Amino acid sequence: MTEDERTNEIALAEYKEVVAQFRTLTDIRFKLLTYLPLGTVAAAVFVSPTNDLMKQPAISAFAFVVTLCIATYNKRNDQFYDELVSRAAELERKLQVEHGSFSDRPTRWLKYGFVPIEHRWPIGLVYAASASLWAYLFTAAAINGRSGLRWVDFAAPAAVIACWQGFRRMERARSETLKEVIKELMTKLVKLKNDPPQDKLAEELTKTMAASPILNVKSKTAARRLAYHWKGYEQEPNSRTASALLSAVTDLPARWIEDVFSGRR
């Protein structure tokens, strides 16, 4: 077996594993989307106004917290989902798969007026709607029929939806900020690779990281990681090795870093 054949065999084996993980995450997403709304509605019907459980705010508060935790878990899965898609696409290009399922995934192009057709916001709205219902039941139990406070019943779910919209804006802003920081770091690594010595470049990088808490890497930790992983970058300094170096320092995927720097993301 030649070296190229062995490389392709390893890439094909990884591709199969990546696709399997992708299917698992997709299955988890659909199960959550199926059971959470149905469970919320079923519980809301069960906790009827004639039931004493309706008068217990702790129950709806618990369900509200659980819904938020599941939504957070799903959001974290979204990050893994995106990276699995990117890795599968990269492997398809490496294996020279023509018109691969992942490498040729269509971009978001459909809109109905100002409403984009995509995965993320409808899923988020399902979680927000579930949390809103529990917020309504919580306030209804808390005010316990006080006529002067009935407006709170509707203010609570409205506040939940408003918070969801705010979180979406925060996510987009944080994503753009992170990309700008990564571009700055990659530019220093790629364009200044032949000018400053290692210690000077490492100092510049650690200063940038210290000024960017979004990376969540302490200066001393970044300096130690740079020193440890520097040799791989120094042997062949380019965007590929620079992204691998930053990945080792920041714990962000090297593929994502290179895509951000090249404009693919």
Q: What is the pLDDT of residues 203-262, one digit of tens each?
A: 777 777 767 778 877 777 888 888 888 877 777 778 888 888 889 888 899 889 988 998
Helix (H, G, I), strand (E, B) or coil at 115: strand
- φ, ψ for residue 122, nearest 5 deg: -65, -40
Residue 130, pLDDT above cutoff 60: yes
For the full predicted model, state whether its pTM sits above 0.85: no
pLDDT tens-digit series, residues 79-115: 999 999 989 998 998 898 888 889 888 888 888 988 8
Separation of alpha carbons 73 and 55, rounded Å:
29
Quick one: pLDDT at residue 19?
94
DSSP E strands, 75-193: 111-112, 115-116
Separation of alpha carbons 226 and 231, rounded Å:
9
Helix (H, G, I), strand (E, B) or coil at 112: strand
Q: What is the DSSP letter of 53?
A: G
Quick one: pLDDT at residue 13?
94
CA angle 104, 105, 111 (to 5 degrees): 135
Structure tokens at 160: 């939940």
